[in-house]
Structure 1
């Protein structure tokens, strides 16, 4: 028997290639929507040391494996393990809208797990991606090339797309508007 889908609140996964600016846009959208108690921003759990440029929770590989069954969603990429924690399950069950940085490769599994999944695809030209990845200082030249070469396709068209070549404020405002519209539409549908 198939387990019940997580929800009824929507999960908005922000996906795209490394260097597209997903974390920057999510941080900006969080600031735009700070007064919305019905919109939650999930903090990813990662098997990477803290202080690597992303505000994430850190787990050892052993702790990650031990907690895997409690995660709302988990995946492996770039030699690391990533997850959305069990708080996401509770937020969605309460009808809240949850926003998270996700992975294109995990979209088929996410579609099987969540009652309402909305995909935001953030893109940028290859030369911009390379420059941003190199500026993070986490990867060597070969690692930058490997990240750029890894381009898993989307399994279906996204609900929203941002070509992140303008200012961070512009991209964040676009993302915040989409998130607010999605949350409002879901709240309205739940009342009918």
Structure 2
């Protein structure tokens, strides 16, 4: 679904991936941007499919592992990955919006950036980060994981061979980081218009 018969990457729109370590505040900044661009039909905020039950934090689509594998085998996902013992994917609406020339904003994985660059003609990367103590507090507050699971998440730091287009050090008020993300989305929307 993401390539034509000749193997060209999907475009002309932009896949704007918001990446960073667990607890950096990616979902909070994405929510601020989603509110800012509500009603803008050229900006889509992707709803990830995840093999985790719905709960605290990110609103996502839930599928079983079997459903996930079946959809993946059918080529329904323009991008999918595994992280933290779960499977994640962007749905077919992402490919449709990018083919129509829009900007798709998605919470992504640093480890999948090289694959995203192969699959999409225009990829922009926003790396959201925060110091470990800040991230530890945020992870504990969301209440999804045990202390041991949080400690394991904080130890992980995948190597990434794709430089980000924007780095947001998300330590101040959420509105500050949200404004940086909104400004970047607006610039990208203008660039692909």
User: Which of the five TM-score ranges fits, normalised by the shorter chain?
Assistant: over 0.9
Structure 2 gap segments, 5+ residues each: none
Query: Is the 8 Å Cα contact of residues 102 and 192 (structure 2) preserved in structure 1?
Result: no
TM-score by length of 2: 0.94
Higher mean C-alpha displacement, 59-68 vs 148-157: 148-157
Q: Aligned equivalents of 1:145 and 1:103: distance in 2?
A: 19
Q: Quote the Cα distance in structure 2 between the aligned partners of 1:9 and 1:158.
A: 18
Provide the C-alpha distance between the structure 1 equivalents of 2:45 and 2:147, rounded to a whole number of angstroms. Answer: 32
Q: TM-score, normalised by structure 1?
A: 0.94
Equivalent position of 1:33 in the other structure: 37
CA distance in 2, matches of 1:167, 1:145: 25
Matches within 5 A, 1:36-75: 36-68=40-72, 69-75=75-81
How large is the RMSD of aligned CA atoms in angstroms?
1.1
Displacement of 1:55 after TM fit?
A: 0.2
Which stretch of structure 1 is more off in the superposition, 2-11 or 139-148?
2-11
Q: How many residues are paired up?
A: 187
SS in 2 for 1:70: coil
* Residues in 2 aligned to 1:180 and 1:3: alpha-carbon distance in whole angstroms: 30
Q: Which runs of 5+ in 1 are unaligned?
A: 188-192
Once the two structures are superposed, residues 80-101 of structure 1 have per-residue CA deviations (whole angstroms, 9 ceiling, x without a partner) of 0000001101000000000000
Alpha-carbon contact 1:162-1:174 (below 8 Å) kept: yes
**1:8 matches 2:8:** no
Q: Distance in 2 between matches of 1:32 and 1:92?
A: 20
Match of 1:150 among 156, 165, 178: 156
